[in-house]
Each structure stands twice: as C-alpha cells, then as structure tokens.
Structure 1
Amino acid sequence: MTICVTNCLHWIGFHIVNRLIENDYQVDGVADISSESEEELSLMLGRNSSFTLYSNENAIKDTKYSDAVLFHESKQPIQALKTFNFGKDIDKPNSINIELPLLFGEWMPMDEKGVYVNKQYIEFYSTRFQEEAIYINDFVDCFMQWLKVPDLPNNISLTKNKNLQIKEDTLEKQLYIRGNRPIDDQIENLIKHYKKIKNYKM
C-alpha cells in the first residue's frame, strides 16, 4: 500500500511520513528542499527504502495511491482512493478536510519559551497553549487510525477540550484527542530536542 504525502518535509508532514514508514507503508513524498532543516529531515527519511522523495508533483502524476495526504493545495490532482487535506478545503468525494488544532512537536519553528504557529508566537505557559495544544505524536496516533476507517466524515475538527459544543447544523465532526502524557513533560522533552538542533535554519 503506497501513500503520497505532499510537503512531506513540513514538520507535521515529517512526523506523519515517519510513522507511516514505521508501520510498513510505502511512502512517496513531495517537497522542494529550501532550508537546512528540510535537508536534514530529507536525509533522515531517505535512509529508509520505503520512502521516495520527489521534488514536484509532475513526477507522480500517473501514479495511483491508496491515500494522499496534502499539506498544501495540490497544483494538479493526485490520484488516490482517499485524500486527507490539511490545506484549503476540497469539495470532492473521498476527500477528508481536517482542521488542525494547535499542534506542537519536534522540528517545528520555536524557541525555548514558545512556538510559532502560522507566524504567530505562542508561549508554552500561556492560557491558549495550555488549553489547546496537542502533542504531535498524539495527533499522529489518531491519524493512523483514520487510515483504517473506510467511511470518514468530509470535515473533521480536532480539540482536546471534550466539553466544546458544536452547532447542530454544521457538517463538521468534532473529535476529542486526549494527551498520553502530562503537557509539562512534553514541553520539557521538546525544549531538550530544540537545544540539540537549534543551529539548523528553522
């Protein structure tokens, strides 16, 4: 089973590709390497024979995939039985549009006091981070289960607030993600990782 991941060297895409490879999936990744950080991530993934990196989508235009994972709007359609879209919503059959929560994890833009999400700086001990942030591995655990579900809703929103109310007329499915470890432990480990790799251009 081969899965295509576009912008696979985005820090979230990297974590998804890494987990797919660990679970014996074949992965075709699409990314244009433009930083030292992306170069390092490509070398880490490239060591595995289950991963192939392409610099653009033209190289895979005739390939058929079981699933596609899009982290940006695709310039041309990628042939897949099911498409997980993390960018602009796609209104097509078998496309699942996922609204990402505030994710944090290794390789993301950050410093020792907080993270950058969509160019916005959020401190670790701010109210927003403490109430909304979900560790990347908890999110990827959830995503790996979605791959096995044949009939997902077309729109999914994620939260760690299980009491959040959704309007009844919305087409969106709200999913609750419970963290597996205390957030302070995850922050501490993330800062340790950051200190090791902070010389890369993030």
Structure 2
Amino acid sequence: MYVVVNAFHWIGYHIIEHLLSKGEKVVGVDTLDSDLKTHLLLSVGRNANFTFREDIEDVLEEVIHQEQTNVLLIDHSYQTCDYLVKNFPCYFIHTKEITKKSESMTYIHAPMIYGEWMPRDKSWFYWNDKTILLGSELFHEKGVSIQIFVLVVMLIMKARLKPTSIQLESADKETMNCNKSIIYIIEKRNMDHKLEKLEEHFQQYHELY
C-alpha cells in the first residue's frame, strides 16, 4: 500500500496514476480546495484500489493492519504526519531546498519537471517561483518529463540502500560527477512531440490549469 500526502498536487497525481496502473493500493490525502483537485480526484476516484481521505488522522485506520506501507509526502510538512513518518518508510519529494530535515525519511529533490497539469499559462510554466518559457533553451537542458521522474522515484523506493537525501538532475555525460547523492537523468529527447502533447492537453483543460 502507498499513502500519498498532498495527493492532488500535480506531481502527486501522476504518482498515484502510475501506482494504480500497476495495481497498487493507494490512499490519497488532500484538501479539495480547487476545481482542479476535484477534477483529479474524479479521474482516479473510480479505481477500486484508490481511497481518498481529507484528514491525515483517518489514514491510520487504512494502514495500521498493513504489513508494508510506503508514505510519499509531496511538498508537504511532515509534522502533520508524525505517526506515519515514525512507523513506515517515508519519502519526501520536494521542489525547493530544505534546511531542516528529519532523520526518519528519505528526501528526494526533484529536478525541473514538466508534464500535464503543471502550473502554467499559454507560453510559460512556473517552477520554484521562476517563470520558464516552454521550448526555451533552459527548458530543453533542464526539463525532465513527469513520467520519467515517477519511474526514477519508484526505483529509489525499491532500492535497499540509499542515502537519506537524493537530488535528481537532468544532465549529459559531460556534467556528471561522482557525488553518490545525485542521480542524473539522461532523457531520450523528443521535445517537439512532447510540447505538442502538452499544448493539446492545455487547450482541452485550460480552464482548470
């Protein structure tokens, strides 16, 4: 079983979608405070393996009898998940630097991720308080698709030995070094096709973005 806190953060949603496609049981925790979150809940809520909870306290009933539960916090304060953090493998996926860390979890620092439902408007998307032009040189150099990111997170979770803090970066062979806490992602590029798909999705659902 997996518990995803901040489930309908756009990154959380893609993680849930992937887990459900693999037949995993998932409990999603979030507050439905936007039309987008409600829409994303409806997208996965019909799956029999998915359970939605608005209160983190209600999750305890779901996990207390489970032999194996993994907890993923998506840019979410772990103080509200104290019991889960202390009793289950916990992974904190964060997009910004974190100075105060708990020794009870594994931190995964996301690279610049792009994909459906990312915060964006017609020509720009927003990452860590920065405005990035879609299709720009920076986008091509640093962008990592959400699908690739999710696959890497799954591999990290399956690893027996891992550092407590892991940074993911997009890079080519010339920029890689031997820092064991950094995982470099070399993505097979087909940016024009991917941008076309993102634009089609944005045009279809632009009122929810």
How does the TM-score come out when normalised to structure 1?
0.88
RMSD over aligned Cα, in angstroms?
2.0
Match of 2:154 in 1: 144
Are 1:44 and 2:51 matched, yes or no? no
Query: How many residues end up aligned between the 2 structures?
Result: 196
Among 102, 112, 115, the residue aligned to 1:102: 112
Q: How far apart are the structure 2 equivalents of 1:55 and 1:128?
A: 37
Greater Cα shift, 104-113 or 36-45: 104-113
Shift of 1:164: 3.1
Amino acid across the alignment from 2:138? R
Q: How far apart are the structure 2 equivalents of 1:59 and 1:69?
A: 16
Are 1:92 and 2:103 matched, yes or no? yes
Shift of 1:19: 0.3
Where is the helix percentage greater, Structure 1 or Structure 2? Answer: 2
Q: How far apart are the structure 1 equivalents of 2:175 and 2:89?
A: 28
Among 85, 88, 97, the residue aligned to 1:81: 88
Unaligned runs of 5+ in 2: none
Amino acid across the alignment from 1:36? D
Q: How far apart are the structure 2 equivalents of 1:105 and 1:7?
A: 17
Greater Cα shift, 179-188 or 84-93: 84-93
Amino acid across the alignment from 1:137? Q
Greater Cα shift, 76-85 or 19-28: 76-85
Among 177, 188, 206, the residue aligned to 1:198: 206
| 1:19-66 alpha-carbon deviations (Å, 9 max, x no partner) | 001111100110001111111000011010101010021112453452
Q: In the alignment, is the contact (CA less than 8 A) between 1:138 and 1:180 conserved in 2?
A: no
Q: How far apart are the structure 1 equivalents of 2:186 and 2:122?
A: 25
Match of 2:185 in 1: 177
Are 1:57 and 2:63 matched, yes or no? no
Q: In the alignment, is the contact (CA less than 8 A) between 1:3 and 1:25 conserved in 2?
A: yes
Match of 1:186 in 2: 194
| 1:147-186 alpha-carbon deviations (Å, 9 max, x no partner) | 3212221111111113335586xxx611111224412221
Unaligned runs of 5+ in 1: none
Q: How far apart are the structure 2 equivalents of 1:164 and 1:97?
A: 23
Sequence identity, in percent?
26
Q: How far apart are the structure 2 equivalents of 1:86 and 1:183?
A: 25
Greater Cα shift, 11-20 or 151-160: 151-160
How does the TM-score come out when normalised to structure 2?
0.86
Q: How far apart are the structure 2 equivalents of 1:29 and 1:178?
A: 30
Are 1:8 and 2:7 matched, yes or no? yes
Match of 1:133 in 2: 143
Change (3 A) 1:69 1:143: same
Q: How far apart are the structure 2 equivalents of 1:69 and 1:8?
A: 9
Q: How far apart are the structure 1 equivalents of 2:186 and 2:143?
A: 11
Amino acid across the alignment from 1:29? G
